[in-house]
Chains A and B, each alone.
Chain A
Amino acid sequence: MSEHGLPPKSSIKRWLVTTNHKDIGILYILTSLFFLIFGGTLALLIRLQLWTSGEFILSGSAFGQAVTAHGLVMVFFFLSPFAFGFANYIVPLQIGADDLAFPRLNALSYWLYLFAGLLFLISFFQGGSLEAGWTMYAPLNLPTYMPNPGASTVVGALLMFVASVTVSTINFVVTIHQMKADGLSLWNLPMFTWSILLTVWMMLIAFAALGAALLILGADHVLDTVYFTEVEGGSLLWAHLFWFFGHPEVYIVFFPALGVMLETFQTFTGRRLIGRKWVILAMILVTLQSFLVWMHHMFLTTINLEIKTLMMAMTIGISLPFDLIVFAMIYTLIKGRIRWTTPFLFNFGALVLFIIGGITGVFLGAIVLDYEFRGTYWVVAHFHYVMVAGGTALFGGLYYWWPKITGKMYDEYLGKMHFGAYFVGFNLLYFAMFMSWEMPRRVFTYHTGFEAYNQMATIGGFILGASFLIMFYNFYQSWYRGPVADGNPWEYSRTAEWATDSPPPLENWEGIPNYEKGFLEFVDRPEGLTDGGHGEDHHDRHPDHASIWPLTISLTTFIGLAGLMLWGEHIVYNTLFIVGLFATLVAAVGFAREDFYAPMPDWGARWPFEGIHKNKFGMWIFLASDIVIFGAFIGAYIFIRWGYGWEAWQTIPPEALPGLVNTFVLLTSSFTVILALVYAQRGNQKGLVASLIATFGLATLFLVIKSWEWNYLLPEAETLPEATIALFTFDWDPLIGTEGPALDASIQHSTYYVTTGLHAIHILIGMIALGYLAIRAYHGAYLDDEQPVENVGLYWHFVDIAWVFLFPLFYIL
């Protein structure tokens, strides 16, 4: 069978170059299971350590690293990617699409995720990893208090993970909004797809906030800025940034699991969901509210009673929609024909666990109780009951979709054994934690009296761990010897993924899925696909499914970040950074130049995003996350300055004039970039090239003024050329000398340089894109397709507008 340039599945090469959503889904699932084993091993180490109350196998520092890595690995590198393995595989099938909107970006997300995980692993071999807990509270997360070099690497790994999530988010938002089959409106989306849609909208905002927090943390690590050591609010700043991300994150990991539960409850009861529209509305409500409760994680800090009360009210508010969802699932059982298959056992079990997790969460919502539970095993037990309930549902999902993905049936008996051991182990493990709730968490020795509970938990943990041996054995047997599963092995399934072969062909369908008559039909493909009348003329061309660039970019980024995070520790790291940086640039150009054809369907239910090209839509989504990043930086500045005393604060630039000039320079460049678009539309090549060059020139002028200003502020560099060279060769020594003002001189310096530096990096990236456009335009590109010019223009306007906010904040007020 021709796979359109894609090597066969038996070839390793296929898995390195594939951009197909089903392949990527499988890669996600396999990789996440690897991290499950890693995180699980750490958990068992922790449990072994806690077998006795004395010291045992781990030192205090090793225990801290194990707890931290366990939390981060399980939440970031196992749970979410596991769910997104299914999202990758199933969502396009459920909406009747051939693939995601940006297949290459999808591959990029995967490889960024994998390499982020590898970077995390490397940190253990660099003289100690992070040991600040998965919440990474400041200032313990800084080298001053926790000098393990690997900790900086972890920050880099998490940043890379955020990049992966952002790329993936953009992809899913565009895909779900724009690639649904005809007649499949938003309202009609299957529940799993709904849950993923809401998840990615939350991720878009939450992960941008985490990204900003990590960028600032990274600056504190690499550039020695002093954000989080600032006594007037540094610690609280981190807590706010982290939990603004952290609370939605709870739903981000749980929603996909909820989606699986809602699907399997319907399939295995043979009933449709009770109160479907209310369930959807409840989920939308949770999505919105998730950003308004973060301070319930900070009840013991110094925030005042009014705010605590507000947060408490919001917290009750957000628990209520979940009540409704739970009852909807329970009522769906009634009058059904319930088949107790393995997927249903896991999902039913997940609901039981979630109910227990939810009830114990209400305890935490009552502030007086939270005061006592905070920092104890109550919290540990509660969030495992919630999050690992999510994991439970997802394991059910793995059994549910296994026949679809592999075309083979697994063994029911072994599946049920897995569930039995899992469920018993789970409750032994985590219920024991409730019973030992008076024990502080994250301790590696405790007072006698808790021993029985801890041993019960440890035994449960090992049973839970062992249950997975059954699962892996079952899947192994099934893969090699299992009976063949047909397209739809489950009675009463409804969603479209079951209406194609198991596994589905490369492009999923024979005909085109269509729901216009109220049920799924396949209509004939029109001759030659076009991309939705967006001006590309590719009749007869077949979509591409292979590209080497996503892997390459991720590898080079990995190298660069590994070097950057330990810049200055050793010449090796400096070299790695420089090599990685340039290689990434080259790879990015390779990616941009590759002629990769991924057409959008001509049809489909797209409301309310009908008339917008996918690239532009994607750019808007990206900018939305960038707005959150700048918002977080500006918020951090205001928060710190407020704590310091607004009036007592000295602005760093001694004069506003250079900044004012720069404002005009940028505004002019916004104008020239519009000119470029106009010329492109008119087919005027000279005008196009000239305006692109003009924009590039103005951007250069901006940076020259900026570096002059930096030089002027940083007396170590004697001359402007010296400062500029230092800036561009990343030789910070003349800039950050031992004397005089520098990034670490004061919190004022830190906020000023870091925030304007973030903006300058945006300018640099814009310049690379502009330069690339100019060269291509010179060779005749964009005259009949001005999309790229328009999208880069959008980005450029955004960078200009960001400056319009920064200028008054940092120069005038």
Chain B
Amino acid sequence: MRWASDRLAQVGEFVVPLSHAPGDEWRTQASVFEEIYFIFLALGTAVGIVVIGYMLYNGWKYSASKGTTELDDPPVLGELPRGEGGGKKLFLSFGISAVIVITLIVWSYSALIYAEQGPEEFEDNMVVEVEGYTFGWDFIYENGETSTNTLVVPEDHVVTLEVTSRDVWHTFGVTELRIKADSIPGQTATTWFIADEQGIYLAECFELCGAGHSFMEADVIVVSEETFEEMYDEFTETGSFPDPPDDLEER
């Protein structure tokens, strides 16, 4: 319930800022996803209940065991197939469902544009190359250093990931941050995120890549701006990140 009321509140804000003129308040991919998911879930459940309920109702109402209906023109064996009337009703319900589906998808499309482009004009947008391999992740920072299975980023910053693979097809994804991109040899897929809460997030592989697929995980460590600066300096010097502060929460 908490979850639902939170979502509802978000939808309230959402109706307006969907157009997201860049420069407005930035929104994380996660919040965009949550809202759209919520709307789809709510409408989908409603439609499902109505349609299936209607089926069950008719199944009950016209059940032969009740013996209430008599067929006025029952089909006979060997007749040439023909349809029964009722086209109007058919098209009406078809029309309604089409409107719902199209509206939903078109409406979600504006969010797609946002998700695709990302907040481009954001200052000092940080770019990290992500290279998948069997079975782990290399993160190559702008300083040229590589960190294996640990991605450290500052809080409230736009981070752009350029994802590729060294061997087979993987998919890089962080469920809590709602980001995902295919990691394909020879290709570079791009995604971005803003982590607005500090903590340790889990990155996983979402495409079967061999016997170690289930273990192909990395930590995404989100720390405050200052901590990040410190950690990054040490990373530049030594080639590996120091341990993050102990009080980070697992997410």
Contacts and interface: CB of A to CB of B under 8 A. Distances in A.
B112 A330 contact: no
A641 to B, nearest CB: 14
Contact of B208 (A140, A356, A518): A140
Contacts of B131: none
A697 interface: no
A610 interface: no
B79 interface: yes
B71 interface: yes
Nearest to B33: A372
A266 B33 contact: no
A191 interface: yes
Given A330-B58, A498-B77, A273 B210 contact: no
B171 interface: yes
A440 to B, nearest CB: 5
Contact of B182 (A188, A277, A302, A488): A302
B40 interface: yes
Interface string B146-190: 000000000000000000000111010101001111101111110
A330 B54 contact: yes
A137 interface: yes
Contacts of B5: none
* Residue among B77, B97, B134, B210 with max Cβ neighbours from chain A (10 Å): B77
B104 A366 contact: yes
The CB with the most chain A CB atoms within 10 A, among B48, B171, B182, is that of: B182
A232 B186 contact: yes
Contacts of B33: 368-369, 371-372
Interface in A323-363: 323-324, 326-328, 330-340, 348, 351-352, 355-356, 359-360, 362-363
A338 B64 contact: yes
Contacts of A184: 80
A374 interface: yes
Contacts of A338: 59, 62-64
B8 interface: no
B47 interface: yes
Contacts of B105: 312, 316, 362, 365-366
Nearest to B106: A316
Contact of B101 (A331, A360, A362, A496): A362
A270 B78 contact: no
A393 to B, nearest CB: 15
A366 B169 CA distance: 23
B83 A300 contact: no
Interface string B194-223: 000000001011111111111100000000
Nearest to A487: B77
B115 A61 contact: no
Given A60-B213, A366-B104, A520-B77, A440 B87 contact: no
- B interface, size bucket: 35 or more
Interface in A222-257: 230-236
Contacts of B134: 145
Contact of A355 (B51, B58, B62): B51
B52 A519 contact: no
Contacts, number: 278
Given A133-B208, A234-B186, A301-B184, A336 B82 contact: no
Q: Which of A309, A335, A365 has the most CB of B within 10 A?
A: A335
Interface in B51-80: 51-52, 54-55, 58-59, 62-65, 69-71, 74-80
Interface in B77-131: 77-87, 89-90, 93-94, 97-98, 101-102, 104-105, 108-109, 111-113, 115-116
Contacts of B214: 60, 63, 443-446
A246 B80 CA distance: 35
Interface string A520-563: 11000000000000000000000000000000000000000000
B92 to A, nearest CB: 9
A272 B82 contact: yes
A23 interface: no
Contacts of A188: 80-81
A367 interface: yes
A164 interface: no
Nearest to A189: B81
B32 interface: yes
A375 interface: yes
Contacts of B181: 300
Interface in B23-46: 32-33, 36-37, 40, 44
A546 to B, nearest CB: 31
A481 interface: no
A276 B62 contact: no
Given A333-B62, A374-B206, A271 B169 contact: no
Q: Taking each of B63, B76, B101, B188, which has the highest tally of chain A beta carbons within 10 Å of its own beta carbon? A: B101
Contact of A324 (B40, B84, B94, B211): B94
A199 to B, nearest CB: 18
Contacts of B209: 140
A301 B187 contact: yes
Interface in A586-615: none
A278 B87 contact: yes
Contacts of A340: 59, 63-65
Contact of B75 (A333, A339, A443, A492): A492
A720 interface: no
A64 B211 contact: yes
Given A301-B182, A366-B105, A330 B55 contact: yes
B52 A352 contact: yes
B180 A302 contact: no
A369 B108 contact: yes
Nearest to A142: B168
A275 B81 CA distance: 12
A366 B55 contact: no
Contacts of B32: 368
Interface string A59-84: 11101100100000000000000000
Contact of A273 (B69, B83, B102): B83
A146 B62 contact: no
A442 interface: yes
A520 B210 CA distance: 58
Interface string A195-219: 0000000000000000000000000
A131 B211 contact: yes
Given A64-B211, A64-B213, A368-B108, A305 B116 contact: yes
B90 to A, nearest CB: 5
A190 interface: yes
A684 B188 CA distance: 66
A356 B51 CA distance: 10
A60 B211 contact: yes
Contacts of B86: 274-275, 331, 334
Contact of A231 (B37, B58, B173, B186): B186
B182 A300 contact: yes
A363 B208 contact: no
Contacts of A495: 81
A320 interface: yes
Contact of A494 (B69, B77, B93, B210): B77
Interface string A624-668: 000000000000000000010000000000000000000000000
A449 to B, nearest CB: 11
A176 interface: no
A491 B59 CA distance: 18
A276 B173 CA distance: 45
Interface in A720-776: none
Nearest 5 CB-CB pairings of A with B? A276-B83, A375-B206, A520-B78, A231-B186, A60-B211
15 contacts: A64-B213, A131-B208, A274-B85, A300-B171, A301-B182, A301-B184, A301-B187, A319-B101, A336-B71, A355-B48, A368-B115, A375-B206, A441-B206, A519-B80, A520-B77
Given A271-B75, A443-B214, 16 more contacts: A64-B210, A145-B134, A145-B210, A188-B81, A234-B185, A269-B62, A272-B82, A274-B84, A300-B182, A327-B90, A328-B90, A362-B105, A363-B40, A368-B36, A494-B76, A494-B77
